[in-house]
Structure 1
Amino acid sequence: MLKNLTFKAFTEITKTATITVDQHGGRAKCLQRLVRLDMPVPTTVALSFDTVRQIAQGKMTDVDAILDFFGETPLVSVRPSAEGADWGGPGAILNIGMNERRHAVMVQRRGEDAANAIYLRFIHTYAVQVAHLDADLFPAVRNPLRSDVAEALRIYELETDEPFPEDPAEQLAGVLRSMARAWEGTSARLLRKARGAPENAGLGLVVQRMALGVGADESGSGVMQFINSTTGRAQITGRYMSQSQGRDALADKHAAIFLTRDPRGHSLEELAPGIFDQLVGLGELARAKLREEMQIEFVIQEGELCVIDAVRVARTARANVEIAVGLAVDRIITREEALLRVPPRSLNELMHWQVNPEAVRDVLLSAIGASPGAAVGKLVFSSTRAQALAAQGEACILVKRETSPDDVRGMHAAHGVLTAKGGMSSHAAVIARGLGVPCVVGAGHIIIDRRARAMRLPDGRLFEEGTVVTLDGSAGEVLAGEAEMLEPALGEAFQTLLGWADEIRDIGVRVNADTPQDARIARTFKAEGIGLCRTEHMFFDDDRLTVMREMIFADAPEDRADALRQLLPMQREDFTRLFEIMEGLPVCIRLFDPPLHEFLPADRQGVVDLANALGRPVSDVQARIDSMTEFNPMLGLRGVRLGITVPEIYEMQAQAIFEAVIALAEAGTEVVPEIMLPLVSAQREVEILQSRIEQVAAKVRAERGAIFNYKLGVMVETPRAALKAHAIAELCSFMSFGTNDLTQMTYGLSRDDAGRFMQTYVQQGVFKEDPFHYLDKEGVGELLQIGAQRGRKANPRIVLSICGEHGGTADSIAFARDAGFNYVSCSPFRVPVARLAGAHAVLTRR
C-alpha cells in the first residue's frame, strides 16, 4: 500500500512511466520524450501537482524514497515543471546533497577548485532561496578557496542560528518546501495570472541526477538551438563554457565560447568536434520527433554528453511564422497545425517596423497601444508642421491632445501619432490603423503646450518640438532617442501561410479603404473588396474644404447644389480610381456621415480666414458656426439624418458614383457599386433616401444612355436598427454592422473618452475587456445576432457583414462566422490578421 502511494507521489521518468502534462507539467513530459528518443538524460524523478500542493501545505513527501533513485551519495538538482511553459515558477536549485563528506570525496576525484566552486554555489543558493537570507551576505567569488566555503557556512549559521544542513534528505526537503510555497505565494499567483495561467494552476517538480560540468577532462555546460530567435531562419546559436553549471554560459558571455567556428574566438566545434556533431544530430532528432524547434541545455561531464533539458525556442512573431511554415513544408506538421501555431494578432509584428526586442529601451511614457508598429521621428505638435517636415523628407511623430478629421493629412504625413486622449476606437486609433501608422493614445498624464510647441511629462521633463523619439504602437510606449529597429517581414513564409489560410476559411475579408493608397495596400494583402469607404475623408483637401464650407454657408438649396457641383467631378474621380484599383471586386461606399460643423474652423484665426474667403463679416461667420454647435454631435445631425435634411449632398455623391460606374464600363470593367446609408434607425429613412437615389440613377441613365445596376444597404450602428432589422432588411441588399458606434450607443460610452477610465473598469472586473477593443459578445453581440436573425428572416438573400474595427480581431471574426455573417471588413493592415483568423475559426470548430 505504501509503495502504491509513493508511486503516485513521485515517478521516475522512464519510457513507459505515466507522465502527463496536466499532472506533472510540461518539463517532466518533455524529459520523458527525450528519454524515449534515447537521449543521454540523467536519472530524473517527477513530483506531481498534488504532491507539490501537499508539500506547500506542510505534508512533506518521502524524500528518502526519492533519493533512493540516485544511489548512496546522491547529488541532484530540482527544477519547476508547470503545465504552461510560459507560466514561470521558482528558479532551479543545483548540487543538492553537497556536504562536508561529499566535498572531501570531490576534492580527491575532481580537485579542490571544482569541489569548492560546487559546494559554495549550493550554500549560496540554499541560503537565499530556501533560508531566504539576503543575497548581499554572500558575495560572488570567482575562484573560491576552502576558506571561502568555511566563511559562507559561518555566515549561514550566524544568520539562521543553526548549522548548514548536512543530510541530503533534509536539504531536499527544504528545497521542495521552499519551491512549493513560492508557487503558492501572492506575487507568483499574480505573475502567472498575467501570463494566462488559471487561478488553480499546478506546479510539478523534477529531481534530476547532477551532471556536474566540472572535472579534469573537458567538462562544462551550455545551450544550443538551431534557428535564429529573431528571424526564424536556420542558424546554430548558443554558448558553451568550460567548468560551469546550469546556464552559466549565457550569463557570463565573456568566459563562454561560441558553438560553431567563429573568427571572433574559440568554439565548441573546435574544442570537442565529436560532442558538437552529437548535439547537432540530437537537435535534428528533436525537431523531427518533437515537431518543434528546441533549445537543448547540455552538460559535458569529463568528455561525456548529458542532455539536461530541452525547451521550445523563444521566438519573435516573425520567427514563429518562419518556423511553423518550415515545419509544415518539411511535412513534420500539417498545414492546419502550422496555421494554428500562429496567433492571428501576432501578424501585426510582421507588417510594420518594430523595435528590436533585444534593444535597450529607455521608456519615457506608457499608454494604450492603438495601432501596431514602431517609428522614429521628431516631435511635432500640429498637422501643418507634420506636413512641412514630410515635404522636407524628415520623419516626425505627431502629438495632439486628440485628433479630428482635419488632422488626417497630418497623420498621413507623420510616421507615428501620440494623443493625450482617446481609446482603442478613438478617431486617432481608427485612422492610424487604417493608414498603418503606429499610434499610442490615452497618454493623459502628459501636458501639451501648443504655443510653446512642447510636451511635459509627469516627472517634469520637457520635450520640445524637434526632439527625436521612438514611438512603439505595439507596446504602447514612447522611448527616448532612436531605438534599434526591425524591418517588416512580408516574405515567402508570410505569403505561404496566408495562402494556406485562404484555402480553409469560409468567411469573406474586405477592407475599410477611403483612398487609392488604402485600396492599393488592400490589394497587396489580397482583400476581397472594399467593405467600407468613408467618403467624408475625401473632403478635407484644401480645394475641397473651401467648397464644402461654401456649401455649408449657402442660404438656399439651389446655392448648396451649385457649390456641390464643384465637388462632383472630384468625387467622380475618387470613385473611378477606387473602382479601377479594385478591378471589379465589390466596393461598398458609405455616403457622407459626420456633422457639418467638423468642416468649420475652431479657432479665431480660422474664423477670420474663412470670413475673408467667403467675403462675409466675421460676426456673421461666427454666428453661423455657433448656430451649428451641438451638445452631442455624435448623436446629432449626421449620417442619414443629414442626408434627409440636406439632400443635395447624397444626390451629388450618388451621381458621382453612377458616372464613375459608367466610366469603368466604357473601359471594359463592370462594376456594381454598393451604396450604404449610415446611422439608420428607421425604415422610413431608408424609403426616403432609396427613392431619391433611384431618381438620381434614372436621371443619369437617361442623360448618358447607359445601363447600370447598384445595391443599396444600410450601416447598422444604432440599437434600434438592430431591433428593427426585419423592417429595414426588406428594402436592402445588405446590412453592415458598424460595431464602433453600436458599442458606443449600447453602452452609453464615448469611445473617445472611455480610455481614461477603462483600465480601472477592467481591473475591477466591471468589464472583462475594453468593449471597444474586444467585441462584447453578451451585449453588443446579442444585438448583432438579433439583427442578423431578423434581417435574414425578412430577406433571406441579404448580405451581412461587420465593418467596425472589431472586424479585424480574431474573436470577433469567429463570432461573426458562427452568427452567419458573410464577411468582415477591417483596416488595410488588419486584412492579413483577418484572413488567418478566418482559418482559425474553421479549424478550432472541427
Structure 2
Amino acid sequence: MKQTSDTSKTKNTTTSNKFVFNFGRQTDGNATMRELLGGKGANLAEMAAIGLPVPPGFTISTEVCTYFYEHSRSYPKTLSKDVEKAIKLVEDQMGREFGSRDNPLLVSVRSGARDSMPGMMDTILNLGLNDETVQGLSNISGNPRFAWDCYRRFIQMYGDVVMGVQAANDESEEPFHALLDDMKKSLGKELDNELTAEELQELVSRYKLLIKKETGDEFPQDVFQQLWGAIGAVFGSWKNDRAILYRQQYGIPAEWGTAVNIQAMVFGNAGDDSGTGVAFTRDPASGEKVFYGEYLTNAQGEDVVAGVRTPKPISAMAQELPKNFADLEKVRSRLEKHFKDMQDFEFTIENGRLFILQTRNGKRTGLAAIRIAVEMNKEKLIDQKTALLKIPAESVDTLLVPVFDLKAQKVAELICKGLPAGPGAATGRIAFTAAQAEIEARKGNKVILCRSETSPDDLKGMLHSQGILTTRGGVSSHAALVARQLGKVCICGAGDITINYEKKTLTAHGITLKEGDYISINGTTGSVYKGLIESADSEVKRVLEGTMKPEDSYTYQLFQTIMEWSDKHRKLRIRTNADTPAMAQSAVQFGAEGIGLCRTEHMFFEGSRIDDMRQMILAIDGVQRREALKKLLPMQRKDFVGLFRAMGDRPVTIRLLDPPLHEFLPQDDAVRRQLADKLGLPLEFVIDRIKALHEENPMLGCRGCRLGILYPEITEMQAQAIFEAAAEVMGGKNPIKVQPEIMIPLVGFKAELADQLAIVRRIADEVMNKKGVKIKYMVGTMVEVPRAAITADEIAEQAEFFSFGTNDLTQTTLGLSRDDMGMFYDEYQQKEIYSKNPFASLDKTGVGKLMQFAVDNGLRTRKDLKLGICGEHAGDPDSIDFCHKLGLQYVSCSPPRVPIARLAAAQAALRS
C-alpha cells in the first residue's frame, strides 16, 4: 500500500509548497540550498548540475522533517503524490520500473543533515527488492548470485533499521550477522562474497524467519510500503540516541532536521569489474596533497565503512582498474576546484562504469585542517580569509598535544601495526565496550576503546576515550571518520589482533592483554604497544621553548602561519588566566597579550603557605589577623614581582582574595590536629573556630569583596603587595613599565566597590610616596552576579573596567551549581533542554542578555570603560564569537587555549 497522510486535524506549518527536489536530468537545487536540502542533497544537485556521473534521484526537504515531528509523524498531504512523480522521473532516466518483476528499479534511502553527521542516522540500500523483483534483477543482470546478495543485504538493513531486529546489548552480536557468520562457518567459508546464489537464497529465508520471530510481522513485499517505511525510519533517526549525542557534541540544533535522499541504486557487487569506495582529495589525517582512500571490488558501500572487510588502498586501483582510477583522478581534481575544499566522496563502479554517489567537505584532523587551509591558499584555490574560516578553531589544540617520548617508545613492546587513521599518541586502560569506556572515564582513568569494528552506537564510548583501536576496517571506516572529527587518536585494521569479547581479552603474536590493562597507540604510525608509554611535548611546544629549530618542524611553520593570519584579522585582544610566573611565561609563548585574571587565592595552596592562610582565616580579631597577614605579605609581593617580570609591559589584572572558606579550612581530624600543633593552638579552639566559620553554601557566603569589607586589613595587605612589587620591578637595572589592574570580586552594590576602592587608592598613594615612583594602575570589578549586570550604570561610576566572570555569573543566573549539575545534566542533554553545557559555552540567550545590558549601561556612564571576560568561556570559540559581537576589548583564557582564542577571534571578526 502507498503511504497516505491524515492532515484533517493538523495544519501544514512548513514554509514552502515544494517538498521534493529532483537531481539528475532535471535538477531543482544547488549547493547553496543546504538548509532545505541538507548537505548531501545540495551537493548531489550541484554535482549533477556540473555534469558529474551522479545516479538520478530526489530529495525530500528538511521542512518535511520539521512537519513530521510537529504532526505526530505524519506527512504533508501532497507529499505522497510528489514522491510518486519523482520516482517516475527516476524510472524514465534509468529505463527501469519501481516494483517491476521484469526490469526492477532499486533505490537507496539516506539521511542528509545540513551539517554532515557520518553514520549517526539511518541508511537503507537496495530498496525495491522482494521475492519477485529479485528474480527480475537476476535475469537482467545475468548474475543470480549478485541479485540474491542484494536481497539479503536489503532484508538485513531494513530488518534492523525499520523493523527493529537488533542486538540485545553492546556485547551481543548483531542477529543478522550471527546468521551470516553461522552459515559461513558451517560451509567452511571466510568471506561473504564466497557464498553462492543458492546459499544466499537460503540465507534470505533464514533472515525472513528471524524477522517473523522477532517482530511477529512478515517482511513487506509491497515496494511502496518499503519506501515509506524507510523514509519514516530516516526521519525518525534524527532523534535517535546517537544522533542526539552527536548534535550535542557539535552544537547542531535539533530544529534543523534532516532531509531524505532517494537515489537510483548502482551496484558495486555486480562482479569483479565492479566495486565501491570512499576517497578523499587529500589525506584527512595529515592534510598532505595525495589521493587518499580505499575500495573493495565486488562489494557495496556499507562493506567499506562498516569495516566488515578490510579494503584496499585507492592507489592499488591504478593496477587493478586503471581506467576507473584515471576517471577518479579527474573527478578528484574537479571536485576540489569546484567546492574549494578537501572533499570526501563515495563512488561505485558498476560493470566498469564510474558513478559518484555523494560528496561533502571531508572530516579531518586538526593538523590536516590547518595544512589543507594553508596549502590551498598557496595553490590560490582560496584566499587567506576563506582559509582561516575553514579551520575549526579547536583544531589548533591538536598541534599542541603531547606525543610519545621517543626513548620510551623505542623500548616499549610492540604488539602489532594497523592503519594510522587519527594522528597523535594515546595511552590508557583497555575497554571493550562503550559502556566500560564510560565507567573507566568516570573513575578518572584514561581509556583506549578496543573493538573489532565500531558502529554509531559506540559514539559515547569514543567520546570518553583517548584513542580508538579496531581490528577491522580501514581509514574511511566509521571508527576512523568519527575519531578524526573528535580529534581522537585512532588505529584501524589491526588485523593481527584478536578480540574475545566473552573472555575480555586482546591477543596478538602471543601477547594477551585483559580489559583494564594498559595499552598505547600511535595514530601517526599505526603502531600498537603493550603497557603505558610516557609522552613528550609536541613539536610546536618544543620550538616555542627553544629545544627544536623552527625550520625542523613543518607543523610549527603551519601553526605560526595560522597565528600570524589570525593576529592580522582579529579585533579582540587575547589575555590569559595565570597565577604563577611559569603559567604566565607559557601563555606569552602562545601569544598572550596580558593577564586577564590572576586568582590570588590560588597562590596560597602551595607548600606551607596554606597553613599561614588558615591562621589568618582562624584569627578571632584584627590583631591576630594582622599578625598572620605579616607572614603573607612578603609571599604575595614575591609572587607579583615574578608575574610582572614574566609579563613585561603587558597589563596584569589581579583579582583580590576570593576564597570560599571550605577550600582552605581542613575537614579531616588528623589535618586539623597537625594545624593546631603547627600554629600552637589548642585543638578544641581550631575545631570550634572552624564550626563558627561554617557556611551552608560557601559559593554564596563570605567571599569576594565581602571578605575585604569585613576585614579591610586583607585588602590593605594585598594592595600593598601589588604596589610594592610594581615599584620594585619598575626600578633597578632593567626597569619594566608595569600595568597593574586591580579587580574587586563579587561586587553587587556600588557602595561595596566604593568601600574597597578607597582602601586600594589609599595604599597606592602611600606606597608611591614612600618609594618615590608613579605607578599607572586601574581599579575595576568582576561582573559575576546578576545585580552587578543590572546596576552596571551605577557601578561604572566607580569601576574603570568590567571583567565578566561568567563561571559565577552562569551559576547565579541559572541558580545552578556547576559542581552538582552532573546529577541531571545527562538527562537535560538527552531531552535537549540544554543544547550545550552552559559552563562550557555561554548561555547567550540568558547570561548573554545580562552581559549585553551591562555593556550598554556601563558605557553610558563611562565611555572609556574597558570590557573583558575571564574564565572557561573565554576559551570557547562560540563564546568568543559572542564576545566579539558584544564589543568586548579582550578575552582571557587558560594558557593552552590562547592559540585557539587567537584564531576564534579572527574568525569572529571575519564573519562579522
TM-score interval (norm. to shorter): 0.7 to 0.9
Query: In the alignment, which of 795, 806, 823 is matched to residue 756 of structure 1?
Result: 823
Partner residue of 1:514? 579
The 5 Å alignment of 1:526-545 reads: 526-545=591-610
Q: Which residue of 2 aligns with 1:45?
A: 57
Contact 2:58 2:261 in 1 (8 A): yes
Identity %: 34
- The C-alpha deviation readout for 1:102-146, integer Å capped at 9, x for no partner, is 424533xxx665566456656766777778888467757543434
1:704 paired residue number = 771
1:664 to 704, 729, 732: 729
Contact kept in structure 1, 2:437 and 2:447, CA below 8 Å: no
Alignment of 1:622-771 (within 5 A): 622-666=687-731, 667-761=734-828, 770-771=837-838
Moved more, 514-523 or 831-840: 831-840
* Deviation at residue 525 of structure 1 after TM alignment: 2.1
Q: Is the 8 A contact 1:729 1:795 kept in 2?
A: yes
Query: Distance between the aligned counterparts of 1:639 and 1:792, measured in 2?
Result: 24
Q: Please tell me whether residue 201 in structure 1 is matched to residue 268 in structure 2.
A: no
In structure 1, list runs of 5 or more residues that go unmatched: 1-6, 261-266, 378-415, 417-437, 439-465, 471-479
Instruction: Rate the CA distance shift 1:514–1:242 in 2: closer, same or farther, 3 A.
Output: same
State the partner residue of 2:123.
91
Q: Quote the offset at 1:589 in angstroms.
A: 0.8
Q: Which residue of 2 aligns with 1:283?
A: 332
Query: Do structure 1's residue 566 and structure 2's residue 645 form an aligned pair?
Result: no
Note closer, same or farther for the CA distance 1:838–1:627 as it changes in structure 2 (3 Å cut).
same
State whether residues 10 and 51 of structure 1, in contact with CA within 8 Å, keep that contact through their aligned partners in structure 2: no
SS of residue in 1 equivalent to 2:257: coil
Aligned residues of 1:228 and 1:236 also touching (Cα < 8 A):
yes
- Structure with greater Cα Rg: 1
Aligned to 1:807: 874
SS across alignment from 1:176? helix
Between the aligned partners of 1:253 and 1:204, the Cα distance in structure 2 is: 26
Offset, 1:513 = 1.0
Match of 1:234 among 281, 289, 297: 289
- Please give the per-residue CA displacement for 1:19-48, whole angstroms capped at 9, x wherever unaligned: 554555433432344345544x15413244
Secondary structure of 2:380's aligned partner: coil
| Cα distance in 2 for residues equivalent to 1:131 and 1:723 | 55
Alpha-carbon distance between aligned partners in 2 of 1:99 and 1:285, rounded to the nearest angstrom: 37
Contact 2:440/2:446 (8 A) holds in 1:
no
- Cα displacement (A) at 1:242: 2.9
Aligned to 1:316: 365
Q: Which residue of 1 aligns with 2:266?
A: 210
TM-score (norm. length: structure 2): 0.70
Name the SS of the counterpart of 1:292 in structure 2.
coil
Aligned runs of 1:186-585 on 2, under 5 Å? 192=243, 194=245, 195=247, 196=252, 198-199=254-255, 201-208=257-264, 210-215=266-271, 218-249=273-304, 251=306, 256-260=311-315, 267-345=316-394, 347-352=396-401, 361-362=431-432, 364=436, 366=438, 490=540, 491=555, 492-552=557-617, 557-585=622-650
Cα pair 2:138 2:146 within 8 Å, conserved: no
Gaps of 5+ in 2: 1-17, 66-74, 97-102, 166-174, 185-191, 405-420, 449-465, 467-487, 489-515, 521-529, 541-554
**1:640-667 CA distance string (max 9 Å, x none):** 2222332332222222222222222222
- TM-score with structure 1 setting the length: 0.75
Equivalent AA in structure 1 for residue 390 of structure 2:
R
Q: Tell me if structure 2 keeps the 8 A contact 1:803–1:825.
A: yes
- Cα shift at 1:510: 1.5
Residues 35 and 772 (structure 1 numbering): CA distance in 2 closer, same or farther, change over 3 Å?
closer
User: What is the Cα deviation at residue 770 of structure 1?
Assistant: 4.6
How far apart, in 1, do the equivalents of 2:321 and 2:258 lie? 40
8 Å CA contact 2:110, 2:260 repeated in 1: yes
Report the Cα distance in structure 2 between the residues aligned to 1:163 and 1:638, rounded to whole angstroms.
69
Tell me whether 121-130 or 11-20 shows the greater mean CA deviation: 121-130
CA contact (8 A) 1:153 1:164 kept: no
Q: CA deviation at 1:763?
A: 5.1
* Secondary structure of the structure 1 residue equivalent to 2:123: coil
SS at match of 2:574: strand
CA distance in 2, matches of 1:163, 1:711: 78
- Report the Cα offset of residue 529 of structure 1: 0.7
8 Å CA contact 2:253–2:835 kept in 1: the answer is no
Deviation at 1:798, TM superposition (A): 1.8
Shift of 1:101: 4.4
For residue 775 of structure 1, report the CA deviation from its aligned partner. Answer: 3.0
Instruction: Find 1:61's aligned residue among 70, 73, 84.
Output: 84
Structure 1 pair 481–643 and aligned structure 2 pair: CA distance change class (3 A): farther
- The answer to whether the aligner puts 1:103 opposite 2:135 as a matched pair is no
Q: 3-state SS of the aligned residue for 2:769? A: helix
Q: Deviations over 1:85-105 (max 9, x none)?
A: 535554242385754344245
Aligned-pair CA distance for 1:830: 2.7
Q: What one-letter code is carried by the residue in structure 1 that aligns with 2:298?
A: Q
Q: Structure 1 residue 143 and structure 2 residue 167: aligned?
A: no
350 and 79 in structure 1: CA distance in 2 versus 1, 3 angstrom threshold: farther
- Partner residue in 2 for 1:387: none
Cα contact 1:42–1:211 (8 A) shared by 2: no
Shift of residue 306, structure 1, vs aligned partner = 3.7
Contact 2:55 2:356 in 1 (8 A): no
Alpha-carbon distance between aligned partners in 1 of 2:206 and 2:832, rounded to the nearest angstrom: 48
Q: Provide the rounded CA distance (Å) in 2 between the counterparts of 1:695 and 1:638.
A: 22
Distance 1:306 1:669, change over 3 A: same
In 1, Cα distance between equivalents of 2:349 and 2:717: 80
Pairwise CA distance, 1:530: 0.6
User: CA 1:563–1:291 in 2, change beyond 3 Å: closer, same or farther?
Assistant: same
Equivalent residues of 1:182, 1:188 under 8 A apart: no
TM-superposed CA distance for 1:176, in Å, is 2.6
1:18-37 matches, within 5 Å, as 18=29, 20-22=33-35, 24-37=37-50
Q: Is the 8 A contact 2:629 2:717 kept in 1?
A: yes
Change (3 A) 1:752 1:79: closer
- Which of 831, 838, 856 aligns to 1:789? It is 856
Render the CA deviation track for 1:667-692: whole Å, top value 9, x for unaligned. Answer: 22111211112222333333333333
Preserved CA contact (<8 Å) 1:45 1:208: yes
Let me know the Cα RMSD of the aligned residues: 4.3
Q: Identify if the C-alpha distance between structure 1 residues 697 and 486 changes in structure 2 by more than 3 Å, giving closer, same or farther.
A: closer
* Structure 1 residue 250 displacement after superposition: 5.1
Distance in 2, Cα, partners of 1:545 & 1:717: 26
Residue 67 of structure 1 and its aligned partner are, at CA, apart by: 1.6
Distance 1:23 1:733 in 2: 48
2:127–2:226 CA contact under 8 A, matched in 1: no
Mapped to 2, the partners of 1:505 and 1:344 lie a distance apart of 13
3-state SS of paired residue (1:593):
coil
After superposition, give the CA deviation of every residue in 1:388-413 in whole Å (9 maximum; x if it has no partner).
Answer: xxxxxxxxxxxxxxxxxxxxxxxxxx
Mapped to 2, the partners of 1:199 and 1:627 lie a distance apart of: 52
Going from structure 1 to structure 2, the CA distance change for 1:556 and 1:56 (only over 3 Å counts) comes to same
**Other structure's SS at 1:746 match:** helix
What secondary structure sits across from 1:333 in the alignment? coil
**What is the DSSP-based 3-state SS (H/G/I as helix, E as strand, rest coil) of the residue aligned with 2:194?**
coil
- CA separation of 1:16/1:54 partners in 2, compared to 1, >3 Å: closer, same or farther? closer
Residues 683 and 18 from structure 1, CA distance in 2 versus in 1: closer, same or farther, beyond 3 angstroms? closer
Contact in 2 for aligned 1:675/1:713 (Cα 8 Å): yes
Greater Cα shift, 348-357 or 174-183: 348-357
Q: Shift of residue 249 of structure 1?
A: 4.5
Task: Decide whether aligned partners of structure 1 residues 605 and 700 sit closer, same or farther in structure 2, where only a CA change above 3 A counts.
Answer: same
